[in-house]
Structure 1
Amino acid sequence: MTDERWTTTEEIAAARERLENAIEGYERPAAYAVGLTVDGDASAEEVFPRVNRGENFLPAVVLATVCGHVRGTATYLLDEQRLQEAIDLLSPAEACTAYDHPNLAVWRRVRAEAADRPGARVVAVFLGDLEPSPTEGRYERLLREAAAG
């Protein structure tokens, strides 16, 4: 964990820019979310407690950094260590009281729920655009549904 703190919106913007520039070819996603896998037919709301569409790009690039995501549509499984790494990388933003930091709160809640549910896994899903694709997977389809609604 770092002692770094981003107390202003300008510091958050600078951190976002620094992280985006560190990923060669990085493109901001049209939508992204962290969710908890579930068995059977689940709704997007059951899987993804928070969906980001065209906003909150600091958490997006934090996830991309941890997952190795550069651009496009993709789903990544996050083990407890990688999810904690994302939480730690984003946590300096909490020092800025101009924002509520809903993604950080959700990531912590998902981490706790995953620990309490045997067999549950955490996914990070990025959509490069909002157009459906015949090759996308289950969680990408669910996120696309949630982003459209």
Structure 2
Amino acid sequence: MLEQWRTIADLDAARQRFEAAIPGWQPPAAFGIARLVSGRAVFARVAVGDGFLPAVALATVCGHRGGSASYPLSPADLDRVIALLTPAVACTELPHPNLHAWRALRLQLGLGEHALAAFAHDLSAQPGDRHVAAMLEQVEPVR
């Protein structure tokens, strides 16, 4: 039987397990997965200030611990992230927008195409990574 996280408490427990497995883990201020289109990152969804379970699951696959950075994601990597999060759909109290967006992006990847993951530590800092900068351009300014 496959694992299922049916409650918000189950989701929190799963997040805590993932976090404990990454020494020095620092949750990002924003994160997302993009498809590269003509060398430009087109993000399926950018999460800001939420989605801490998807963020740490994504970081688990990428090897991200903290700070601002981007990482290439092979289709197999993206499949692994999706598989890590799939038990969350059993919790119907939340909509799971990251998982749904990532599944849709996975279906869009053509033969030989890759995705990328981006993490931003600070929404107001100027990142040195062009893909993180592209992600932050999609973030609505706080008013």
Match of 1:26 in 2: 25
- What are the within-5 Å matches in structure 2 for residues 92-107 of structure 1? 92-107=87-102
In structure 2, which of residues 105, 120, 136 is the aligned counterpart of residue 127 of structure 1?
A: 120
Match of 2:48 in 1: 53
Shift of 1:76: 0.6
Is contact 2:34-2:44 (8 Å) kept? yes
Alignment partner of 1:7 is 2:6: yes
What's the RMSD between the two structures over aligned residues? Answer: 1.7
Identity %: 43
Alignment partner of 1:144 is 2:136: yes
- Tell me the TM-score normalised to structure 2 length: 0.91
Tell me the amino acid that sits aligned with residue 147 of structure 1.
V
CA deviations 1:23-73 (Å, max 9, x no partner) are 000000000001101116x5x7xx112110010100000000000000000
Name the count of aligned residue pairs: 141
- Tell me the TM-score normalised to structure 1 length: 0.88
Gapped runs of 5+ residues in structure 1?
Answer: none
More helix by share: 1
Q: d(CA) in 1 for partners of 2:104 and 2:5?
A: 22
Q: d(CA) in 2 for partners of 1:147 and 1:23?
A: 26
Gapped runs of 5+ residues in structure 2?
Answer: none
Q: Which runs of 4+ in 1 moved over 6 A?
A: none
Match of 2:72 in 1: 77
